[in-house]
Structure 1
Amino acid sequence: MTLVLGGARSGKSRYAEGLIELRPGPWRYVATAQAWDDEMRARIAEHRARRPAPWETVDAPRDLAQAIRQGPRGQPVLVDCLTLWLTNAMLDEAADLAAEVDALVEACRGAAGPLVLVSNEVGFGIVPENALARRFRDEAGRLHQRLAAIADRVVLVVAGLPMIVKGDAE
């Protein structure tokens, strides 16, 4: 399992796609984004255009653990991205966010094939001014720590350049 972190437009998704494409296809892309507006629809379209066959896209804005568990044995899986999933869960006012995170961590531990997770590193900025944004930053930080602890590799992408934080380079 590889956890790929980075800021917005850092190149983390392209880097993660490249990691998956080092393995034989078909590849599974688990998308967590929801097209709430035109800008988000354009972002989703851009990501999809980069992934021709043999990529298979599975939309999982909420039940990410199940989408990971459903992957066929040995199939490389890319999840993009964890912070959008966390946003979806928080905006849905998940009854038990901690239980959903636990289920996600367990699904990652039991993944049936290579797994690459993409997420935004949001903890480098200033302290947000409102309680929801502070809670999101804190929940994302805790999620990243839990996943980094079980990951074989953690990579921070800055300006398109991968920096290995944990494990070996692919």
Structure 2
Amino acid sequence: MSIFVNKATRVICQGITGRHGAFHSARCMEYGTNFVGGVTPGKGGMIFDKDPADSEITGPDGNKLSIPVFNTVAEAMDEVGVDASMIFVPPPLAADAILEAADAGVKLICCITEGIPVMDMVRVRQVMTERYPRSRLIGPNCPGIITPGECKIGIM
């Protein structure tokens, strides 16, 4: 059995400025997950430091946390380095978000989104098998992945 995530795993959230992405990113950060950024096209340059209830995000040690928002996964990879991506985007955009992460070189992609069209995922599987064999996809429509006490990616 392998352990895919740990305290050192650098995580981003694609769709971090949406309601669900913001809420669950904040919960993961509070758990202690090493979030290094978020991605929302057109919102690059923002700072993510409050959850949807407008509460400050604090880590397990009580320190205030904030992370940058980027326009693309490739931009996040260049700026902060990324090991894993958590995806919270609408179903019609999920396939492209998965492939964007794989194209940028993200090794672990965790897609929480449910209701993705089946043919979109057939295409994603084919493209990932052919072009991105080093990227691992967990999901879609999954609760995420966790290494207890170290890293939580998802809705658990």
Alignment TM-score, normalising by the size of structure 2: 0.46
Higher relative contact order (CA 8 A, sep 6+): 1
Say which structure is richer in helix: 1
